Amino acid sequence: MHAEAHREPARLSRLLLDPLSLPYKSGAALALLGRGLRPRSFPGLFIISADGLSFGGSGKTPLVMALGAALEARGCRFAVVSRGYRSRGEKEGLLVQAGHDSAAAGDEPLMIKRRFPGQDVFVGRDRLRSLEQAQARGNRFALLDDGFQSTHIRKDFSVMLVNPDQPYFYLRHFRFLARRDDRLLSYRRARRPFPGSDGWYDFVLSGLYDAEGRALDVGREPIVAFSALGDNQRFAGDLARFNLAAFVPFPDHHAYRAADLAELEALRVARGASWLVCSEKDFAKVRLLAGAGLPLLLARNEIQLPQDLVPQILAHAEEKGFL
């Protein structure tokens, strides 16, 4: 009964959103198709596009990091090309360095650079310029974060993540464009499957880590958690295995202030919790604001992909002479 009641509002929202979104979908689709009539090729790069049919929270960045880890394990040099949403680098273009903050580079590119310090991470609206720079610096692979919007770029392999339950999903729901992808993966825990998908993906919380990357076992010590993600609810659910005393959600890409951390620390003390816990993406932003005495840990979420996906991509790269 409860599940059926939960599904009914979703049906009603789809009935309303589908016709309302038609002008947007039509205009955006025409723009994407027009830009893709003569896509730009980069012969020196094997370009892998990580895409999502939701505006946020589908898992594009964890996908990029999983693919990056697979390439790094093979000794491949790669560049990540991202927009750097709401950062200075979004307008100006930037090669991310370890000393940059989220205001300069964006939260997700900063997190990726922290995970892969020896690889190049570029941000900027001009993806063509970023790819040109990546190629000039000797990279053989490029991971294009949200290449779905970049139909003017020829990709060698693309992976589309679909979460049918995600808010605003139907405003970006271009089925005929999605079918061009090499792999279309549907979120495993969605209430209903996505038609046409050829696999599933999910997330697993691998553990809690300190600023030096050391895993900590907090046992049943109470924690206060917070995040500014496209899907805060999923992150809170992933923390259910811990003794979660409180959870504070922020809007996606929230620009944290020292006052935010002060309020979170006050909440931790008031709830008698031992630790503050945030996502890896949030940790990339708040670590410079956190004082030395703040008991802050990051929760690392890893994406689970079909076992044949990475071998399929690597085999395609080998066929093209990139491995």
| Amino acid found at 143 | L
The answer on pLDDT for 29 being more than 90 is no
3-state secondary structure of 78: strand
pLDDT at 6 over 50: no
CA distances from residue 146 to 116, 160, 191 in whole angstroms, order as listed: 19, 9, 24
Closest alpha carbon to 243 in 210, 213, 208 = 208
Indicate whether 9 pLDDT > 50. no
Span 116-142, average pLDDT: 97
The pLDDT tens digits for 58-70 are 889 999 999 999 9
Token pair belonging to 98: 């370890």
Instruction: Say which amino acid occupies 73.
Output: A
Question: Can you tell me the mean pLDDT for 59-84?
Answer: 95
Whole-number pLDDT of residue 111: 92
Least confident of 84-93, 109-118, 188-197, 225-234: 188-197
Collapsed DSSP state (helix, strand, coil) of residue 49: strand
CA separation for the pair 9, 313 (Å, rounded): 39
Residue 31 has a pLDDT of 58
The answer, yes or no, to whether residue 27 has pLDDT greater than 70, is: no
Fold type of domain 204-303 = Rossmann fold (3.40.50)
- Which residues neighbour 108 within 8 Å (Cβ) at sequence distance 6 or greater? 61, 82, 84, 85, 145, 281
Question: Helix, strand, or coil here: 45?
Answer: coil
DSSP bridge partners of 142: 47, 79
For the chain, the first-to-last Cα distance in angstroms comes to: 53
* Rounded average pLDDT over 86-98: 93
Distance CA 118, CA 320 (A): 25
Residue 163: both structure tokens together? 């979460």
pLDDT digits (tens, 9 = 90+) for 252-294: 889 899 999 999 999 999 999 999 999 999 998 898 787 778 9
Give yes or no for residue 89 having a pLDDT over 80: yes
Residues of the chain with CATH 3.40.50: 34-199+306-319, 204-303
Cα(66)–Cα(62) distance, integer angstroms: 6
| pLDDT attached to residue 207 | 94
Band (pLDDT 50/70/90 cuts) for residue 56 is low
Give the C-alpha separation, 274 to 245, whole Å: 10
3 state SS of 150? coil
* 179 pLDDT above the threshold of 70: no
Summarize pLDDT for 186-195 with one digit per residue, the tens.
999 888 777 7
- Dihedrals phi, psi of 233, to nearest 5 degrees: -60, -40
Which among 82, 7, 22 is positioned nearest to 49, based on CA atoms? 82
Q: DSSP state, 304?
A: E
What's the CATH class of domain 34-199+306-319? alpha beta
The count of other CB atoms within 10 Å of the CB of residue 11 is 9
Question: How high is the mean pLDDT of the chain?
Answer: 85
Asked if the model's pLDDT at residue 8 lies above 90, the reply is no
Q: What is the pLDDT of residues 228-242, one digit of tens each?
A: 998 899 899 999 999
- Determine the pLDDT at residue 97: 95
Average pLDDT over residues 26-34: 58
What is the C-alpha to C-alpha distance for residues 26 and 164, in angstroms, rounded to an integer? 20
